[in-house]
Structure 1
Amino acid sequence: MNLSQIEAFCTIADTGSVSEAARQLDCNRTKLSMSIKALEKELSVELFNRSGNQLTLSEAGKAIYRDSQNLLFTEARIRQTCAQVSGEFSAEVWIARDDSLPDDLWQDLSHRLNSDFPATSFNIVLASSGDLANLVVTGQVDFAFGVDYERTDDPHVTYQPLGKIRMMSVCGADNPLSKMRRVADSDLRNAMQAAMVYLNEKDNPELKPLSLRHIGFSSFDYMLNSILTENAWGVLPEPLIRHHLRQQELAVIKHTYGLTQEDYCMFTPAGMQEHPAMTWLAEQLNEYLFDF
């Protein structure tokens, strides 16, 4: 048994297809199939139930899947530690963040990162809140920061809450919903909703639109613009809209769930050693959120 066999096993288990696994691993399909057969022969079990081109985990495959993933994470952690010792660690860091916090804050923090950690290059990309955990799990980014909609028992990612963020159901000050003393579910269903959408394949009930008529965005800022200009309503983070509330351009909808709280988190691959710059960034965000 070797790590390439374990990687092949996990990738096929995740994709359900030898062809797709071979594409992702950039290797020959026949070689991948032979690798799995060799692993099954060594372990004296069948790891997959085969039906045409589709493969699903057998009971034995399910039993060893978690341990197999942990082996791959241990390998990645060993390589990362060695890279750190050799001075190659964190020459470049990729960060995903949602736009629940104002752009001005992120611009200030990015400038300070570059100033305080000159040996590291930082790439900060904007993503939907619902995609943050998946971007970390799939290795597309090293760390992510944002509202946590995807909290699951996922061994691949570590969630570190940095503070609570208040989510508000709001509409424009001239929207009929703002004049109602009590807003029912039926009122919201019949009004246009600006909703959050994301690319991650997992279903998330918290992000499913309530209204019969809705338009979806992957950005809170786009949702805000639609609410202000299209007579829509939506659920937005308080830090992003505090100014508009003070200017009375927005109104909080008087609904049972008009005000809720979510964790604002740092997402880190399981087992990854935290970069000192990310420790600093987490502390800054924690201090900012403390005011809310």
Structure 2
Amino acid sequence: MNLSQIEAFCTVADSGSVSEAARQLDCNRTKLSMSIKALEKELSVELFIRSGNQLMLSEAGKAIYRDSQNLLVTEARIRQTCAQVSGDFSAEVWIARDDSLPDELWQSLSPHLNNDFPSTSFNIILASSGDLANLVVTGQVDFAFGVDYERTDDPHVTYQPLGKIRMMSVCGAVHPLSKMRRVTDNDLRHSMQAAMVYLNEKDNPELKPLSIRHVGFSSFDYMLHCILNEDAWGVLPEPLIRHHLRKQELAVIKHTYGLTQEDYCMFTPAGMSEHPAMSWLADKLNEYLFDF
């Protein structure tokens, strides 16, 4: 009995088909059938009840299925431990991100990180765009992804642009600013602004509120909620608000800086080798921004 036979047994049990199991394991169907038969011969039991093209676990198969799964889990854990000890991968990676890209995108990418890089645990936290670089520099996270407002040559952090992201000055569709053919700085200063705030002690003029009256939030999503419900205006990333613009719930303000572009970046500590999972993630985010 060996682990490849146990893996074959569990995969056939889960899929109910030798053909499907062979596809999942990327191996020859005949070879897989021979592994099952060899395991049955060694254990002196039939593990499956064969009915046409379908396979169901026999009583003996049901009895050993849980233990067989545990064997595979133990094997994976041993491999992960050895990979971590040898330094091939970090045991744990902390990632900060802002919410300039939709949550649905991150929810679709996260399972692939766990499945494709099983030797590493990933912790993804939400942070203000203005704090991303500082979180990397101070070692609170290993990598960060988001809109780059820093525009400075910090020797402690590497900025890798993954694509451009359009920032829009918007307000609610019935807001007085939406009816104006030309909006001045003075008009904006006297209208309530939903602004981005951050904890980083370094002054960032890009994120200073323009309006005399403003309320600050650490996330674009909170800003969006305020703009939609509290008669405010603010600067938001296009990927987050496109469907609201299409539904005409938001309007772009006709101001000189109503539409601007910023870099969407990966922030990495200077001199740190890039984790293969972060290279994969950067490629996926680049593809999204390019297609967008």
Q: Which residue of 1 aligns with 2:287?
A: 287
- List gaps (5 residues or longer) in structure 2: 1-82
Q: Distance in 2 between matches of 1:209 and 1:240?
A: 20
For residues 99-146 of structure 1, what are the alpha-carbon distances to aligned partners after superposition, in whole Å with 9 as ceiling and x for unaligned?
000000001111111111111100000000000000000000000000
Offset at residue 240 of structure 1 (A): 0.3
Q: Which residue of 2 aligns with 1:119?
A: 119
Which amino acid letter does the alignment assign opposite residue 144 of structure 1? A
Q: Which residue of 2 aligns with 1:154?
A: 154
Q: Distance in 2 between matches of 1:282 and 1:84?
A: 23
Q: Distance in 2 between matches of 1:159 and 1:122?
A: 21
Secondary structure in 2 aligned to 1:123? strand
Q: Which residue of 1 aligns with 2:208?
A: 208
Q: Which residue of 2 aligns with 1:222?
A: 222
Secondary structure in 2 aligned to 1:209? coil
Secondary structure in 1 aligned to 2:241? helix
Q: Which residue of 1 aligns with 2:260?
A: 260
Q: Distance in 1 between matches of 2:116 and 2:168?
A: 35
Q: Distance in 1 between matches of 2:89 and 2:117?
A: 13
Q: Distance in 2 between matches of 1:156 and 1:289?
A: 26
Structure with bigger gyration radius: 2
Q: Which residue of 2 aligns with 1:188?
A: 188
- List gaps (5 residues or longer) in structure 1: 1-82
Is the counterpart of residue 136 in structure 1 residue 140 in structure 2?
no
Secondary structure in 1 aligned to 2:174? coil
Offset at residue 87 of structure 1 (A): 2.8
Which amino acid letter does the alignment assign opposite residue 177 of structure 1? L
Secondary structure in 1 aligned to 2:111? helix
Which amino acid letter does the alignment assign opposite residue 182 of structure 2? R
Offset at residue 291 of structure 1 (A): 2.3
For residues 217-247 of structure 1, what are the alpha-carbon distances to aligned partners after superposition, in whole Å with 9 as ceiling and x for unaligned?
0000000000000000000000000010000
- Give me the TM-score of the superposition, normalised by structure 2: 0.70
Which amino acid letter does the alignment assign opposite residue 134 of structure 1? N
| Worse overlay, 87-96 or 180-189 | 87-96
Offset at residue 89 of structure 1 (A): 3.7
Aligned residues: 210
Offset at residue 258 of structure 1 (A): 0.1
Which amino acid letter does the alignment assign opposite residue 225 of structure 1? H
Secondary structure in 1 aligned to 2:288? helix
Q: Distance in 2 between matches of 1:89 and 1:113?
A: 13
- What is the Cα-based RMSD across aligned positions, in Å? 1.3
Q: Distance in 1 between matches of 2:206 and 2:230?
A: 23
Which amino acid letter does the alignment assign opposite residue 216 of structure 1? G
Q: Percent identity?
A: 88
Q: Distance in 2 between matches of 1:178 and 1:111?
A: 41
Offset at residue 203 of structure 1 (A): 0.8
Q: Distance in 1 between matches of 2:149 and 2:240?
A: 17
Q: Distance in 2 between matches of 1:203 and 1:87?
A: 38
Offset at residue 91 of structure 1 (A): 1.1
Q: Which runs of 4+ in 1 moved over 3 A?
A: none
Q: Which residue of 1 aligns with 2:276?
A: 276
Secondary structure in 1 aligned to 2:203? coil
Secondary structure in 1 aligned to 2:150? coil
Q: Which residue of 1 aligns with 2:109?
A: 109
